[in-house]
Amino acid sequence: MSELITYKGAVYPWHCDHMGHMNVMWYVGKFDEATWHLFGDLGITPQFLRENNRGMAAVEQHIAYKRELMAGDIVTVTSKIIEIREKVVIFQHEMKNAHTGEVSATTKLTGVFMDSVARRAIAFPEEIVSRIRARIAAG
């Protein structure tokens, strides 16, 4: 799947810590917002999840911090799927300073599709798997 812009936003002063740069909790938050935009684009919408008693659970996340972001910086996040398996999707986000183009942080996540009532992992529906595989194949 080619990269998709999944988040645009600003760094506000309250996002910054005593070091003067955006605190790690806000990187995670902005990446999380990007995740839900990515999922929605794949058909894993809140409506789909509610109507089918389904959910997504993050089971692993690795973040690399590359460049500081400061109050006033505008950021964009691009996302792409790396791999789809029966019950698992692996994807990545890249956060950039929109003005400089510098990569500020990257993250790689592993998510599991689940039955939200039984609270266990289940196979993705075939239509979602097909959509994801087509996007991976497209580059």
Quick one: which of 14, 42, 31, 16 has its CA closest to 75?
31
- The model's pLDDT over 63-109, given as tens digits with 9 standing for 90+, comes to 999 999 999 999 999 999 999 999 999 999 999 999 999 999 999 99
pTM over 0.95: no
pLDDT score, position 1: 43
* Chain centroid offset of residue 11 CA: 18
- Return the number of other C-beta atoms located less than 10 Å from residue 66's C-beta: 13
pLDDT class of 139 with cuts at 50, 70, 90: low
What is residue 136's predicted lDDT score, i.e. its pLDDT?
85
Greater confidence (2 vs 139) lies with 139
Task: Identify whether the C-beta of residue 81 lies closer than 8 Å to the C-beta of residue 135.
Answer: yes
35 Cβ partners below 8 Å, 6+ apart? 6, 58, 79, 91, 93, 109, 111
What is the spatial distance between Cα 62 and Cα 64, in angstroms, rounded to a whole number?
7
Q: Could you give all domains of the chain from N- to C-terminal order, each with its CATH number?
A: 4-137 (3.10.129.10)
